[in-house]
């Protein structure tokens, strides 16, 4: 059981409360110091910084440097999370990642490849159907720099979100609540609300949160049904990487030198909801057939066993960390 892997470390509630706050501080505050410093060093950038306008910041620094500094925040956050889990919870990164004995890199690669192909096809089809909405934006040198930054840093960014939400928070809430449905619900809502200040929300309205929260539920279901983060890690990385490299717009969170620029007027419509109510269910069906998932109700809403019962059945307690 994925959530119960937390029992192989130290699981007192105070450790999770401190960890959630400490990692968030490292991620959002300490992680933002390099970006702030870079902006402060630019002339007339204080007002831009105070405005919080991501587009203006990207113009001040340049799109590729701005993207790097933004993604660096997630790298600092992920490092702080791993350090906290290892030294405070005495839990291995493998146990934070999966219920399997080893991280299944094949699962990560399969989910990454599947969604890369599908999302790329969707983008190509949309460009063919609505060519007036896109401008070919390819510039060799900026694109090559973008590709290096994106390929290296975006999987780190998406991994931070997955390990923090579907990993640390889901395990912590699960062992405290002793069930699966509460961590699924809470982490999915938090994932959606975490995007509340994205520029997409300002342009499209609060209805776009249905997409973000729905995506949170999809990734949470992947995690609980597959008893690990591997599929959600692969899917999330593919989703953000294809978006960064293929299409950008001046009203999105990612401001990049991508292949195409979307110049259409953003409107919240049915196309925003298609992934949540059509594509994600189809993907869950595909994953369920490939990995032979069963007992959906128990895996998504069932109880998490007590620490004593789980350790008695799964672990030699003499190998566990001592609680100081």
Provide the b/e sequence for 262-282 (b: ≥16 CB within 10 Å). Answer: beeebebeeebeebbeeebee
The answer on pLDDT for 49 being more than 80 is no
How far apart CA 187 and CA 177 sit, in angstroms, is 13
Q: What is the pLDDT of residues 272-322, one digit of tens each?
A: 889 999 999 999 999 999 999 999 999 999 999 998 888 888 755 444 554
Backbone angles phi, psi at 129, to 5 degrees: -80, -30
The answer on pLDDT for 253 being more than 90 is no
Backbone angles phi, psi at 267, to 5 degrees: -140, 135
Helices 54-61/33-40 angle, 10° precision: 60
* The predicted structure's pLDDT at residue 318: 42
**Average pLDDT in the chain:** 92
Whether the Cβ atoms of residue 10 and residue 88 lie closer than 8 Å to each other? yes
How far apart CA 202 and CA 75 sit, in angstroms, is 27
* The predicted structure's pLDDT at residue 315: 56
The answer on pLDDT for 133 being more than 90 is yes
* The predicted structure's pLDDT at residue 317: 45
Element (H, E) at 136: strand 134-136
Q: What is the percent of the chain with per-residue pLDDT over 90, rounded to a whole number?
A: 76
Confidence of residue 148 (pLDDT cuts 50, 70, 90): very high
* The predicted structure's pLDDT at residue 45: 67
Average pLDDT over residues 133-159: 96
How far apart CA 159 and CA 148 sit, in angstroms, is 17
More confident residue, 47 or 260: 260
Instruction: Map residue 2 onto helix, strand or coil.
Output: coil
Q: How much is the pTM? A: 0.93
DSSP string covering 233-278: HHHHHHHHHHHHHHEE-TTSS-----SEEE-SPP---HHHHHIIII
């Amino acid at each position: 059981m994925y959530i119960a892997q937390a029992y192989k470390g130290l699981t007192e509630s105070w450790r999770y409360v401190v960890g959630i706050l400490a990692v968030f501080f490292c991620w959002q505050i300490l992680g933002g110091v390099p970006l702030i410093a870079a902006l402060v060093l630019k002339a007339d950038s204080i007002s831009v910084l105070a405005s919080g306008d991501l587009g203006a910041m990207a113009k001040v620094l340049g799109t590729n440097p701005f993207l790097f500094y933004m993604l660096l925040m997630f790298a600092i956050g992920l490092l702080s999370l791993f350090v906290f889990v290892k030294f405070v919870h005495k839990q291995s990164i493998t146990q934070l990642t999966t219920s399997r004995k080893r991280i299944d890199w094949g699962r990560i690669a399969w989910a990454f490849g599947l969604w890369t192909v599908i999302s790329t096809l969707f983008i190509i089809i949309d460009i063919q159907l609505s060519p007036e909405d896109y401008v070919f934006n390819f510039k060799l040198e900026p694109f090559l720099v973008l590709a290096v930054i994106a390929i290296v840093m975006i999987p780190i960014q998406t991994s931070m979100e997955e390990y923090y939400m579907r990993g640390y928070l889901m395990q912590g809430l699960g062992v405290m609540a002793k069930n699966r449905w509460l961590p699924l619900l809470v982490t999915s809502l938090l994932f959606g609300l975490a995007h509340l200040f994205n520029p997409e929300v300002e342009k499209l309205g609060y209805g776009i949160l249905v997409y973000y929260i729905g995506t949170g539920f999809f990734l949470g279901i992947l995690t609980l049904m597959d008893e690990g983060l591997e599929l959600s890690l692969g899917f999330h990385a593919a989703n953000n990487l294809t978006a960064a490299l293929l299409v950008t717009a001046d009203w999105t969170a990612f401001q990049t030198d991508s292949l195409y620029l979307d110049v259409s007027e953003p409107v919240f419509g049915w196309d925003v909801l298609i992934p949540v109510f059509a594509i994600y269910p189809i993907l869950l069906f595909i994953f369920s057939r490939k990995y032979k998932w069963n007992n959906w109700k128990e895996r998504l809403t069932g109880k998490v066993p007590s620490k004593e019962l789980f350790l008695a059945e799964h672990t030699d307690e003499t190998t566990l960390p001592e609680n100081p």
